[in-house]
Amino acid sequence: MSYELLTMIWFFLLGVLLCGYAILDGFDLGVGILHPFLAKDDYERRLVMNSIGPLWDGNEVWLVTFGGALFAAFPVAYATVFSSFYTAFYLLLTCLIGRAVSLEFRSKVSSPLWRRIWDWAFFLSSITAALLLGVAGGNVLAGMELGPKYRYEGNLLSQIYWYPLLVGALTVSLFALHGAIYLYLKTEDDLQARVRRAITPLFFVFAGLYLIVTLATWWHVPHATANISRHPWLWIVPVLNALAVLNIPRAMHWGRPGYAFFSSSMVILALATLFSVEIFPNFMLSTIDPAYSVTLENARSSRDTLETMLIIAGIGFPCVLSYTVIIYWIFRGKVKLDPHSY
């Protein structure tokens, strides 16, 4: 296999890991964002948390494996991206830790104060994590102040301005919508009715932000659309994206929540694909001088390593898919509390 082809395959596989993460942890984060607003009492809050109880940990592994795969396949990108986002990334890690421990510890002690503290920690860490992921994505899309020899010249403050914040808001609204549809599938009775009532406004917030971010990207990130203009067949991605967005209210209306969940997953998939199409062939575009950018070519590992890693992925991916299917099958159906629940 040629070096170029291997490089493209690894760029694609990283996209797969990123989509896997965004779709799976997306509903987890969304459930965390909605948790204080939809559940009325302690029992319902436990139901909401346990709807993702057995799954969130496996979902986060997609992010961890994305990190490992980026390190292995494009070490220069791994090194440059994570050191450039130093402070933002430590805040994201704080949020991921906060989520893990609030899920794990909340219901272990019956004191109401203890539980209220963890409920808030769960909400704040979920919403901040979603926001930060979006802000990072927005910065990568818009390009960053990367100097010579991969030395980043900005800081946290130069990463926080209107465009990445808009992308962050879009991410929060998308995950909240995705999480709401998931909760609708997992709950019953009163709680489910309340979730149903929340889906429509969440959809409109998301659709509004979706339009705004699309226009903002056109205006603020002119290079983002260059790949699509060069390869017009890529228009299929935004068109499918728009169809998937519109299909969410349609499927909910016809009482097919599973189909709606599939649609919101497809929206995430399409947005992540669009993101990859737009940044290609850079991992991080330098706004100082394009020659300083981190690209597929200057970031990749050696040919032999990409090939070995492909063998590892070829053995690993089928296993991963099979356990994911088994686990989701075992925990299918409405969420119920038992002695081992959170």
**Residues 143-182 close enough to bind other proteins by CB under 8 A:** 148-153, 155
Decide if residue 292 touches other proteins (CB under 8 A).
yes
Detail the DSSP E strand segments found in 143-298: 282-284, 294-295
Q: With respect to other proteins, which residue has the nearer C-beta, 151 or 253?
A: 151
User: Which residue type does 126 have?
Assistant: S
The least distance separating other proteins from the CB of residue 305, rounded to whole angstroms, comes to 5
Q: How many angstroms separate the CA atoms of 3 and 231, rounded?
A: 23
**142-150, 198-206, 242-250, 253-261 -> range binding other proteins (CB under 8 A):** 142-150
Which of residues 7, 51, 107, 263 is near other proteins by CB under 8 A? 107
**26-34, 127-135, 225-233, 320-328 -> range binding other proteins (CB under 8 A):** 320-328
Burial of 90 (0-12, 13-18, 19+ CB in 10 A): exposed
Q: How many angstroms separate the CA atoms of 91 and 144, rounded?
A: 19
Q: How many angstroms separate the CA atoms of 144 and 153, rounded?
A: 9
Site string for other proteins, 11-30 (x = CB under 8 A): --------------------
Query: For the chain, how big is the Rg over CA atoms in Å?
Result: 20
Decide if residue 64 touches other proteins (CB under 8 A).
yes
Which of residues 75, 205, 259, 262 is near other proteins by CB under 8 A? 75
Give phi and psi for 152, each to the nearest 5: -75, 135
Q: Any idea which residue has 């994505």 for tokens?
A: 137
Which of residues 190, 250, 316, 334 is near other proteins by CB under 8 A? 316
Decide if residue 101 touches other proteins (CB under 8 A).
yes
The least distance separating other proteins from the CB of residue 297, rounded to whole angstroms, comes to 11
Q: Any idea which residue has 């992540």 for tokens?
A: 272
Collect all residues with Cβ–Cβ distance below 8 Å to 246 and sequence separation of at least 6: none
The least distance separating other proteins from the CB of residue 55, rounded to whole angstroms, comes to 7
Q: With respect to other proteins, which residue has the nearer C-beta, 6 or 199?
A: 6
The least distance separating other proteins from the CB of residue 71, rounded to whole angstroms, comes to 4
CB 277 within 8 A of CB 265: no
Decide if residue 327 touches other proteins (CB under 8 A).
yes
**130-138, 234-242, 249-257, 319-327 -> range binding other proteins (CB under 8 A):** 319-327
**How far are the Cα atoms of 143, 149, 225, 226 from residue 231, in angstroms, in the given order?**
21, 31, 10, 9
